[in-house]
Structure 1
Amino acid sequence: MTEITGGAVPPHTPATAASPGRGRTVSRQAIEEFLYAEAALLDDWRLEEWVELFTLDCVYEVPATDAPDADPGLSWSLIHDRRTMLEQRIIRLKKPEAHAEFPHSQTSRIIGNVMVTERSDDAVQVRANFIVSRMKAGKFDQYVGRYHYELVPDGTSFLIRRKKAVLAHDRLDPQGKISFVL
Structure 2
Amino acid sequence: MEMKQINDLREIQLKIEELTHAYVQCIDDNRLEEWPEFFTEDCLYQIISRENDERNFPASLIYCDSKGMLKDRITAHRQANIFEAHVYRHIVSSIRITSHENDTYTVHSNYAVFQTRVNGNSEVYNVGKYIDKVIFEDDQPKFKEKKVIYDTLVIPTLLVTPI
TM superposition score normalised by structure 2: 0.84
Deviation at 1:147, TM superposition (A): 0.3
* Aligned: 1:154 with 2:113: no
Q: How much identity, in percent, do the aligned residues show? A: 23
Cα RMSD between the aligned structures? 2.4
2:34 maps to which residue? Answer: 49
Q: Judging by fraction of residues, say which structure has more helix.
A: 2
**Cα distance in 1 for residues equivalent to 2:55 and 2:42:** 21
SS in 1 for 2:76: helix
Structure 1 residue runs of 5 or longer lacking an equivalent are 6-13, 18-24
SS in 2 for 1:51: helix
Deviation >3 Å, runs of 4+: 14-17
Query: Structure 1 residues 15 and 76, CA, compared in 2 at 3 Å: closer, same or farther?
Result: farther
- Supply the AA of the counterpart residue of 2:154: L
- Supply the AA of the counterpart residue of 1:58: C
1:133 maps to which residue? Answer: 114
Deviation at 1:82, TM superposition (A): 1.4
Query: Is the contact between residue 113 and residue 127 of structure 2 (CA under 8 Å) also seen in structure 1?
Result: yes
State how 1:17-28 maps to structure 2 within 5 Å. 17=9, 26-28=11-13
Structure 2 residue runs of 5 or longer lacking an equivalent are none
TM superposition score normalised by structure 1: 0.76
**Cα distance in 2 for residues equivalent to 1:38 and 1:15:** 24
Query: Is the contact between residue 15 and residue 116 of structure 1 (CA under 8 Å) also seen in structure 2?
Result: no
Q: How many residues align?
A: 159
